[in-house]
Amino acid sequence: MTTPNDPNRVIVFDTTLRDGEQSPGCSMNLNEKLEIAHGLKDLGVDVIEAGFPIASPGDFESVQEIARQVDGPIICGLARCNTADIDRAADAVKHARRPRIHVFLATSAIHREFKLRMSREEILKRAIDGVKRARDQIADVEFSPEDASRTELDFLAEVVERAVEAGATTLNIPDTVGYAVPTHYADIIRHLKKTVRGIDKCVLSVHCHNDLGLAVANSLAALKEGARQVECTINGIGERAGNTALEEVVMALRTRQDYYGLTTGINSRLLLPLSRKLSHATGMQVQRNKAIVGQNAFAHEAGIHQDGMLKNPNTYEIMRPEDIGLSRTELVLGKHSGRHALRQKISDLGYHLSDEQLNKVFESFKVLADRKKDIYDADIEALADTQIHESVQKVWKLQAFTCNAGTGTLPSAAVSLERNDGKIHRDAALGDGPIDAVFNTIDRITGITLKVVDYRVRAVTFGGDAQGEAFIEAEYAGKKVTTRAVSTDIVEASALAYLDLINRVTARQDRDRLKPTDNVSHDAVPSL
Ligand SMILES: CC(=O)SCCNC(=O)CCNC(=O)[C@H](O)C(C)(C)COP(=O)(O)OP(=O)(O)OC[C@H]1O[C@@H](n2cnc3c(N)ncnc32)[C@H](O)[C@@H]1OP(=O)(O)O
Ligand SMILES: CC(C)C(=O)C(=O)O
């Protein structure tokens, strides 16, 4: 039997594989169902409604295999109130260590009149017969008066009482069409608890649909009134707008233990992995802002929130991400973010900018965020690199140069550089061409030799006075760096670009010479 000893322990009845699978586009094959069923067992659900065995040979086989292979939870099969359905369900679940049959019959006037075409008396008889037939085969029988929330209260109480008398061990009160609202649903549960004889011998269960977006709220309201089984599905999948989302109801009970005083047997850290597994199996994506398992559920973009989160996560999070299986909260950078979050991101990316540098990056970040929806780490790196690049102290400045090239002459260059101490350094060298000669001369003056691995020039404007851009990719101490410079003279553009790389290397060497205690933003110097 399923009645837990602890009166505050809620039985989690998962119907992902039955009601969940009824949602269009969510059909699963046998292997997928087995995989989900094992996941549900690991998650710690108490009951797995594995399918509706009469529905198809495939459904029967799935329920049967789950009953055979998944040991731990109660394995349940659904049946209408007729002999064939009940016997088929009994056959499917019989191999489970703890089998259950779930029989249902609609009780509301609209279903009686238009769907079943049965009188109240016929409904009572079919319900009693159904429960008895199930009880004859399996000791654990759940009965559901379908569309209970739209059923006349007195008749609902009568059907439920007769089902108890017939041997039902769990009484489920479905809000089949998601019509209930929390106070109304709580009233129904309270009324049944007060008026139905023998109801205390059964577990009172709730099964809610989300047509008005109230499935979880209604379930919680019923649990507060004394229901002790909640029927739900992973990601809230199910007919139409879905069922009560397991992850939401479980985390609500856990987070608001102070209010409900109820517990479940769920290992909440497996919620996200199972949610993802189900999405993959069904192809049904979880909406980004879905509670608990949505991509945004633990993501913050607003600067004021990010600042609060960095100071103390409790300011804007009521659950810890790791409690649902997420490694950490995400601070998403976007147009609403502030300096605190940007600083954190920049630091996570390995930069150590000064306040002044950060402010400059922040300004360009805001301009970028206005234009761009998603800001990636690479965007932030580019902004930080640009800022660092601009703030590198220029040790060497090009003062003058000449170069010679032509048929029958050796390509040569003479270069004059000014160091930042004001001294002028001059030298000359040969090369494979005039530009190579300029680079060689710069090497001789500065004492640094770069290995150029890529070199390109292109015109960046039009006409005879077009600006030429020189692009250089070079290697120094095993690290690659690129730069570009623009001039109307392509040899000068090349010399400027090369000198820019030399300046970065020099800055890096200077940094290495500085003591760690110096009040300088050392790591702001890009590595070469
Ligand atoms: C609220 C819920 O989620 S209930 C579960 C709903 N899930 C499903 O329906 C999915 C699986 N269903 C199926 O594969 C098919 O509907 C089957 C195999 C069960 C039945 O198929 P069919 O025999 O062709 O009947 P069909 O689905 O067209 O109609 C349902 C019949 O069951 C009857 N019925 C509905 N609920 C019940 C019930 N709880 N007890 C007895 N009979 C019922 C209907 O009145 C109708 O009977 P009728 O043929 O005499 O008019
Ligand atoms: C079979 C019952 C419990 C059902 O799925 C519903 O009423 O929604």
**Per-residue pLDDT tens for 172-205?**
999 999 999 999 999 999 999 999 999 999 999 9
Judgement on whether residues 118 and 16 belong to the same structural domain of the protein: yes
Judgement on whether residues 373 and 256 belong to the same structural domain of the protein: no
Judgement on whether residues 264 and 311 belong to the same structural domain of the protein: no
Determine, yes or no, domain membership for 371: yes
Strand duo 141-146 + 299-300: pairing: unpaired
Whether 15 has a pLDDT exceeding 60, the answer reads yes
Whether 506 has a pLDDT exceeding 90, the answer reads no
Determine, yes or no, domain membership for 526: no
Q: Which of 213, 331, 235, 364 is nearest to 288 (CA)?
A: 235
CATH of the domain at 180: 3.20.20.70
Q: Which of 137, 142, 18, 144 is nearest to 87 (CA)?
A: 137
Nearest CA residue ID for atom 5, ligand 2: 19
Judgement on whether residues 270 and 323 belong to the same structural domain of the protein: no
**379-429 pLDDT per residue, tens:** 787 678 777 766 666 889 999 999 998 888 899 999 999 998 999 999 999
Judgement on whether residues 205 and 72 belong to the same structural domain of the protein: yes
Q: Is the ipTM of this complex over 0.85?
A: yes
Check whether 172 is labelled as a binding-site residue.
Answer: no
Question: Measured in angstroms, how far is the CA atom of residue 28 from the centroid of ligand 1?
Answer: 20
Judgement on whether residues 420 and 488 belong to the same structural domain of the protein: yes
**pTM for the predicted model, two decimal places:** 0.77
Judgement on whether residues 64 and 84 belong to the same structural domain of the protein: yes
Which of residues 235, 254, 282 is at a domain's end?
Answer: 282
Q: In 3-state terms, what secondary structure has residue 226?
A: coil
- DSSP result, 378-396: HHHHHHHHHHHHHHS---E
Determine, yes or no, domain membership for 1: no
Question: Measured in angstroms, how far is the CA atom of residue 73 from the centroid of ligand 2?
Answer: 20
Nearest CA residue ID for atom 7, ligand 2: 176
CATH of the domain at 479: 3.30.160.270
Question: Is the beta carbon of 104 within 6 A of some atom in ligand 1?
Answer: yes
Question: Measured in angstroms, how far is the CA atom of residue 117 from the centroid of ligand 1?
Answer: 13
Judgement on whether residues 472 and 380 belong to the same structural domain of the protein: no
Domain limits for position 60: 11-282
**95-125 pLDDT per residue, tens:** 999 999 999 999 999 999 999 999 999 999 9
Question: Is the beta carbon of 300 within 6 A of some atom in ligand 1?
Answer: no
Which of residues 353, 371, 391 is at a domain's end?
Answer: 391
Determine, yes or no, domain membership for 376: yes
Q: What is the pLDDT of residue 124?
A: 98
Question: Is the beta carbon of 175 within 6 A of some atom in ligand 2?
Answer: no
Determine, yes or no, domain membership for 48: yes
Judgement on whether residues 198 and 322 belong to the same structural domain of the protein: no
Count of structural domains within the chain: 3
Please tell me the number of the ligand nearest to residue 231's CA: 2
Which of residues 234, 254, 282 is at a domain's end?
Answer: 282
Judgement on whether residues 258 and 368 belong to the same structural domain of the protein: no
CATH of the domain at 362: 1.10.238
Strand duo 299-300 + 330-331: pairing: parallel
**446-458 pLDDT per residue, tens:** 999 999 999 999 8
- C-alpha dihedral (506, 512, 516, 520), degrees to nearest 10: 10
Question: Measured in angstroms, how far is the CA atom of residue 315 from the centroid of ligand 1?
Answer: 50
Minimum-distance ligand 1 atom for the alpha carbon of 85? 19
Judgement on whether residues 351 and 408 belong to the same structural domain of the protein: no
Check whether 95 is labelled as a binding-site residue.
Answer: no
Question: Measured in angstroms, how far is the CA atom of residue 85 from the centroid of ligand 1?
Answer: 10
Determine, yes or no, domain membership for 524: no
Minimum-distance ligand 1 atom for the alpha carbon of 239? 3
Determine, yes or no, domain membership for 20: yes
